[in-house]
Structure 1
Amino acid sequence: MKKLVIVGGGTGGIMTATQFLKKENVSVTVIEPAEYHYYQPAWTLVGANTYDFEKTKRKMADVMPDGVEWIKEYAETLEPDKNTVILKSGKEVVYDYLVLSPGLVMDLDGIEGLREALGKGVVCSNYTDPKHTWEVLKNFKGGNAVFTQPTTPIKCGGAPQKIAYLAADYFKKKGLSDKTNVIFATPGSVIFGVKPVRETLEGVLQRYGMHFKPHYAPIKIDADKKIITFKWSSSAENQCVVNEDKLGETMSGQQFIEMPFDMLHLAPPQKAPDFVRNSVLANDAGWLDVDTGTLQHKKYPNVFGIGDAAALPTAKTGAAIRKQVPVVVENISRLIKDQGIGDKKYNGYSSCPLVTGYGKMVLAEFDYDGNFTPDPKLKQMLIKDSSEEHWRLWVLKKYILPYLYWNKMLKGKDV
């Protein structure tokens, strides 16, 4: 019997384990230290007080499939030349096939002052404590509400702007719009890369009167003075930063912008866990060096990578993992039968449910090439164009997707 070891009990790990338990002649081991499993896509809604945080978590024991060997420890070292994972306790776990789906970790030292500021006062993040985000929003009285994201890849790249839209909508409902500047600052050059979605979001920015700041890379937070410093990240020639007096921006040198804030929400810099980054399985940037189609490691054919820690040029979302898992399951199944890698490949599909206000959402679905690829099943919900705002998409986000996640995806069923 072949031994499959999975590192990570998140979406990718549980889905892979569940699907392999249906196959013969494979024993499945999952290495995962966490006590709870979280449905993190709902944390945006928690931060806007429209979803119960307690409903986003379940005990890991309750989602771990029956029949797996669950090792409740941290992976410490990967030794693929020996087909071994060494745990933090020093125990060695040997495998025939390895699937790595460890997710990301927050790099709180990636921005100066972030570690000291995050989760205290008016500095918040849905990525770490969405309940605190709501406290900050609820107590906001006006001024600069700044929303930003780092230069590193992050889970669900659209999440930092979703909460910005929800906040703008909340401020409008509370009569705070006239004395509030909602600012979305990003190191990127556009609000979203997929054209039809971008056009819709540009209209959303205008509707709320939001200040969009492209090429703004956050590098420092002074929580005491309530100032965030950005580096102007554009390499284009003959461009300059346009400062808006009412935002209180000031220039420090030619590349640095200081902006005062009365609330600050940001996605922390993120990276793969150290046991991945420090292993021979990582590329120079610290991500699992896997083939973008087969998800097989480029050097070690019995190792596969799924999800956020993999070096895949697409958005890091649960929707992407939903399409990656079947590819990995089929390829490992074929290798076990000595059939070699098959033709089934991951095309880079990912999706980002972009909440644009209370009761409104856009659903961005796309592939490696940035093509807009809406699911035909959306027509069953009477949604003609998911690149435009629709209340039925909000229903999908708040009610349908969580149900499908807990009751279908984690059970290994096709969704």
Structure 2
Amino acid sequence: MTTTYDVLIVGGGNAGISLAAKLLKDGAGRIAVADGQQVHRYRPMLNYAAGGQADMAGFERSMRAVVPDGVDWIPDHVAAVDAAARTATTSTGLTVGFRHLVLCPGLTPWWSAIDGLRAAYGAGWAASAHVPEYVEPARRLLAGVAAGDRVVANVPAEPSSCGGTVLKALFLACAAWERAGILGEVDVHLVTPYDRILDRPTIDDALADAVVRYGVHVHAGAEVTAVDHAARTVTLSTGERIDGVDAAYVTPVVHAPEFIAEAGLGDGGPAGLADVDPETLRHRGHPHVWALGDAASVQTRPSGGALRKQVKALAQNIQAADDGGELQRYDGYTVIPVMVSRDELVLDEHVRDGSEDRSIPGVDVTKPRRSTAVFDRFGQPRIYWNRLLKGKV
């Protein structure tokens, strides 16, 4: 017998758990979260951990502990969806029915997109905290850099989530090498797909100052296309090759889980994102299917900070769809926080059209500030565990 839910949420990350808690508070009916992961991570801490400023063990909870009481947890990954029949099938063959389906499964590494990268990860001279199971190897990689070494880091192209925050780990590592007295003897390279560092006028000047301070060579308008494990080389889309690489903090290309495209719910792009209206978060072809988070095609830079507004809009829109009410609009708000020194952070906030949308009136968070860094490092996790994951958005 198939169990049917009013709302089936695929994915138990920030998006899925926050939405489940919000829908539960709003009385949305019977709700389930399907996710085979046993551990829930506070992902913004990953690059702090890689940069040596945090221990990820303190920012992890069991999935059972974060799924709200009153919401069913299906401890399995969804492998297939039949949108017309309103059923989902898990990897173990369980069939689950739904009135509304919400897709927020996150993104997964597309290892073959950068030839040789996985072999370099396996050998230990390449890693990135954006692949959570490699956060400790990433920390060891950056901590083990010595005088005379050559280091390459990349800002991953979209739809990689919070791609710009790789700079947290890089600049924190540079600050550590500076304190150790070896920075001047470390050859640091940064590969970015943008014309400037992040193509955000609000913070690019501060990022450029950090690049100059730490002596980082920037390869703008480029992406990593290949890594030769044996030769220790990194090849860029511009044709340039960086030889003699000792440490590569290179984040792989990512894509949405394949079941989205296989179910006819994808946008046709190479990453296979869910094809939703970027404002209402409703699927363009199936009105009972919704998506938010990294795997949704919402036409803004993906980030955890974007989810607060997405969750609020989507929870209201599911209710409006049932009641025949007007749908709310998500304006594409997103955020990019970057540590530019050991204890200073800059923060960019903007909406879909690129214009600024500051959440703290009267405080210019685009300038390097210690107070912003302290809040990002210590205040935000408390808000995350105690408010966002409890539906208080």
Q: Which range moves more in the overlay, 260-269 or 114-123?
A: 114-123
Q: Is the 8 A contact 1:46 1:52 kept in 2?
A: yes
Structure 2: unaligned runs, 5 residues or longer: none
Identity level (%): 29
Tell me the SS of whatever aligns to 1:118. helix
Q: Is the 8 A contact 1:101 1:307 kept in 2?
A: yes
Q: Is the 8 A contact 1:4 1:28 kept in 2?
A: yes
Tell me the SS of whatever aligns to 2:136. helix
Structure 2 residue 133 is matched with structure 1 residue 147: no
Select which of 219, 222, 234 maps to 2:225.
219
Question: CA 1:60/1:120 → structure 2, altered by over 3 Å: closer, same or farther?
Answer: same
Q: Separation in 2 of the partners of 1:51 and 1:58?
A: 15
Structure 2 residue 268 is matched with structure 1 residue 291: no
Partner of 2:296: 310
Q: Is the 8 A contact 2:5 2:32 kept in 1?
A: no
Tell me the SS of whatever aligns to 2:383. helix
Q: With the length of structure 1 as denominator, give the TM-score of the two structures.
A: 0.89
- TM-superposed CA distance for 1:25, in Å, is 5.8
Partner of 1:32: 35
Q: Which range moves more in the overlay, 324-333 or 274-283?
A: 274-283
Q: Separation in 2 of the partners of 1:9 and 1:2?
A: 16
Structure 2 residue 321 is matched with structure 1 residue 321: no
Q: What is the letter of the counterpart of residue 211 of structure 1?
A: H
Structure 2 residue 374 is matched with structure 1 residue 395: yes
Partner of 2:243: 259
Structure 2 residue 45 is matched with structure 1 residue 42: yes
Q: Separation in 2 of the partners of 1:27 and 1:63?
A: 17
Q: Separation in 1 of the partners of 2:34 and 2:146?
A: 46
- TM-superposed CA distance for 1:24, in Å, is 3.2
Tell me the SS of whatever aligns to 1:21. helix
Q: Separation in 2 of the partners of 1:160 and 1:22?
A: 35
Deviations 1:54-88 (A, max 9, x none): 01210001000001121111101111111111112
Tell me the SS of whatever aligns to 1:370. coil
- TM-superposed CA distance for 1:256, in Å, is 4.2
Task: Kindly report structure 1 stretches of 4+ aligned residues shifted beyond 4 Å.
Answer: none
Q: Separation in 1 of the partners of 2:27 and 2:352?
A: 34
Partner of 2:163: 157
Q: Separation in 1 of the partners of 2:86 and 2:292?
A: 18
Structure 2 residue 234 is matched with structure 1 residue 228: yes
Structure 2 residue 11 is matched with structure 1 residue 8: yes
Q: Is the 8 A contact 2:210 2:341 kept in 1?
A: no
Deviations 1:226-267 (A, max 9, x none): 1111121xxxxxxxxxxxxxxxxxxxxxx3434331211011
- TM-superposed CA distance for 1:367, in Å, is 0.7
Structure 1: unaligned runs, 5 residues or longer: 233-254
Partner of 1:125: 128
Q: Separation in 2 of the partners of 1:119 and 1:56?
A: 25
- TM-superposed CA distance for 1:150, in Å, is 4.0
Q: With the length of structure 2 as denominator, give the TM-score of the two structures.
A: 0.94
Q: Separation in 2 of the partners of 1:282 and 1:124?
A: 29
Tell me the SS of whatever aligns to 1:229. strand
Q: Separation in 1 of the partners of 2:51 and 2:155?
A: 18
